[in-house]
Amino acid sequence: MSSSEQVTTTNFIRNIVIDDLESGKHETIVTRFPPEPNGHLHIGHAKSICLNFGLASEFGGRTNLRFDDTNPLKESEDYAQAIMNDVRWLGFKWHELRHASDYFGQLYEWALHLVENGQAYVDSQDADTIRSQRGSLTEPGQESPYRTRSIEENRDLFTRMQAGEFENGAHVLRAKIDMAAPNINLRDPVLYRILHAAHHRTGDEWCIYPMYDWAHGQSDAIEGITHSLCTLEFEDHRPLYEWFLENIPAPSSPRQIEFARGNLDYTVMSKRRLKQLVDAEHVSGWDDPRMPTIAGLRRRGYTPQSIRAFWGEMGVSKSESIIEMGVLENAIRNDLNERAPRGMAVLEPLKLILSNYPEGESEFIEAAVHPQNEAMGSRRVPLSRELWIERGDFMEDPPRKFFRLKPGGEVRLRNAFIIRCDEVIRDDAGDVIELHCSFDPESRSGLPGAKRKVKGTIHWVSAAHAVKAEIRLYDRLFSVANPLADKETDYLEFLNPDSLSVIEDAWVEPSIAEGGPGDYFQFERQGYFTHDPDSGSGGKPVLNRTVSLRDTWAKLRKG
């Protein structure tokens, strides 16, 4: 990524970084992006990625990618690989790849340190009992009967927990802080639980696993993270984050700073729910183009540039909001409008015969790849006697403001010439199956007659040259803006049944058919499209509509 492209929107975190560098608190800043490898990344994670990597690179610092892999039951190496792939694709390079599991040994030592100082104890109650003693916002918690165990007994039990002597759930290690603390997170939080489960990296080495809170800040301290950026739900955990670091011999003092999650409407955005959509086959996979995952957006045709620009524009703050999907769509429109090669494709074909065009002949028109960017060169658009046009561009009995083709009417064929509709051919059922038209040779682009004005221009492809393609059109995955708002109803009830429609027999001009996954196009008058990975391998090309040319949703909302 070039430096001019970087996100430099002012935000409160950036201001903290500037202060810390100016005051000499830090010489350089170190951030981290800490995903749990329990699913694929989504567009919300991209906000955190852009923020962490963007800040560090703006100020000459560095960013680690750290897998927060403390729950072996939900995590896998496949997810870790997918996450690394997504971060790279977004255009970021991590300084070091780290894992919370790299620190299991150190975390265990530090837990023993707390035990030796009388600041942690083994509780032998079950999880439900412990939960029931937590108290509430208005009532203090209740102390465990095991809270007064001696240091010796705690050391003995904790080392035996680690050695594998106990069943899952028999004991936990808890910090001994304050059961009456106003902040519930300080009411003797659990540090370790027993879990006899193989970890995707450490195998069977451990049968006790640290809780998130015990792992996170300590991992930050080990890596020398200066600014540990996380989402607002961790604000109440900050006193605990700080308590841990104050009570162990921490090698550095990271500062936790919270910011608001990025949310989008008409979708859901937690890995847990996205996994549910995948597992129940409501979508074809994590990379289904309707998914808000990075993999889904990539397959849909989003570019890394558009996603970075989107989060750059949205900025970072402490107030929660739900961003309209249309804003994300505008980001990809803006990017592709500048860069996407143009081409013509007919999605709902109607045959059109140019009756005064010689039979058996054809020609190639040189058309601009991008009308505003000459450097992109030209493409050869084949033209012959039989064409396909969009069925919707013809009406037999149109309303007054219909400027496309009608019986006896004239229209310009994009990149070619003006035609007149002379005759409408029907089948036995009375449906229109063919139009016979004549073209005006004087009106060809480049000739003096090209200036002749007609009201409408339509796109077309040459029937003899066009390639048959499958086109997949996508709509919102959910039919309500916030599928989680109604607590009474399962959010799956709000899945939009029409979120995918497939057109089996569209026709695309050859320049479009030649592309492959990662190539994007503007189908003139229709929208932006990209080849799906299902495309190619000799079969019919398959193209996904990334986004239409205009925001039809904005109109719908206004009613």
Residues 381-410 that bind ligand ATP (CB under 6 A): none
Q: Which does 262 bind (CB under 5 to 8 A by kind): ligand ATP, Mg ion, none?
A: ligand ATP
Point out which span in 30-38, 331-339, 450-458, 492-500 binds Mg ion (CB under 5 A): 30-38
Q: Which is nearer to ligand ATP, 93 or 272 (CB)?
A: 272
Residue 32's binding partner among ligand ATP, Mg ion, none (Cβ under 5 to 8 angstroms by kind) is none
36 as an active site residue: the answer is: yes
The distance of closest approach from Cβ of residue 262 to Mg ion in the complex, given in angstroms and rounded to an integer, is: 15
Q: Is 243 helix (H, G, I), strand (E, B) or coil?
A: helix
Q: Is 45 in the site for ligand ATP (CB under 6 A)?
A: yes
Cα–Cα distance measured from residue 62 to residue 519, given in angstroms and rounded to the nearest whole number: 32
Q: Quick one: 68 or 532, whose CB is closer to ligand ATP? A: 68
Picking from 271, 288, 294, the residue whose alpha carbon sits closest to that of residue 50 is 294
From candidates 16, 30, 40, 47, binder to ligand ATP by CB under 6 A: 47
CA distances from residue 230 to 321, 529, 541 in whole angstroms, order as listed: 16, 35, 42
- Piece of 6-14, 32-40, 283-291, 409-417 that binds Mg ion (CB under 5 A): 32-40
Measured from the CB of residue 453, what is the shortest distance to Mg ion in angstroms? 60
Residue from the set 72, 141, 210, 262 that interacts with ligand ATP by CB under 6 A: 262
Taking CA atoms, 426 is separated from 35, 151, 299, 350, 388, in Å, by: 60, 93, 40, 11, 16
Which single residue is written with the structure tokens 């009608």?
Answer: 406
Helix and strand numbers (H, E) in the chain are 14, 27
Name the nearest CA neighbour of 199 among 84, 74, 66, 40.
Answer: 74
* Residue 261 is among the residues annotated as catalytic for this protein: yes
* Rounded Cα–Cα distance for residues 258 and 254 (Å): 13
Number of residues this chain uses to bind ligand ATP (CB under 6 A)? 16
| C-beta pairs of 416-423 under 8 Å, 24+ apart in sequence | 416/365, 416/383, 416/444, 416/445, 416/460, 417/441, 417/443, 417/444, 417/445, 417/450, 418/443, 418/452, 418/454, 419/352, 419/354, 421/394, 422/355
Contacts with ligand ATP, 230-249, as mask; x by CB under 6 A? xx------------------
DSSP 96: -
Stretch of 264-272, 394-402, 487-495, 513-521 lying at the interface with ligand ATP (CB under 6 A): 264-272
Tell me: does residue 36 bind Mg ion (CB under 5 A): yes
Residue least distant from Mg ion (Cβ): 36
Dist CA 405 CA 414 (whole Å): 13
- The residue from 149, 271, 385, 545 that is catalytic is 271
Comparing CB distances to Mg ion, the nearer of 36 and 440 is 36
Please report the beta strands in 400-509, taking only residues with DSSP state E, as ranges in sequence order: 410-413, 418-426, 432-440, 457-458, 460-462, 467-474, 500-508
The catalytic residue among 74, 134, 261, 380 is 261
- Stretches 36-44, 54-62, 261-269, 294-302: which one binds Mg ion (CB under 5 A)? 36-44
Rule CB under 6 A: which of 197-236 touch ligand ATP? Answer: 230-231
Query: Per CB under 6 A, does 114 bind ligand ATP?
Result: no
- Spatial contact of 331 and 314, defined as CB atoms under 8 Å apart: no
Q: Which of 14, 32, 36, 62 is catalytic?
A: 36
**270 binds ligand ATP per the rule CB under 6 A:** yes
Q: Are 39 and 271 in contact (CB under 8 A)?
A: yes
Q: Is 44 in the site for ligand ATP (CB under 6 A)?
A: yes
Tokens describing residue 410:
């004239």
Binding segment (CB under 6 A) for ligand ATP, from list 261-269, 344-352, 455-463, 541-549: 261-269
Bridge pairing between strands 172-175 and 120-123: antiparallel
Minimum CB–partner distance for residue 36 and Mg ion (Å): 5
Task: Find the helix or strand (DSSP H, E) in which 44 lies.
Answer: helix 43-58
**Closest listed residue to residue 46, CA positions, set 337, 298, 237, 276:** 298
Asked if 296 interacts with ligand ATP (CB under 6 A), we say no
Catalytic residues: 36, 261, 271
Binding site residues, ligand ATP, CB under 6 A: 34-36, 44-45, 47-48, 68, 230-231, 261-262, 269-272
Binding site residues, Mg ion, CB under 5 A: 36
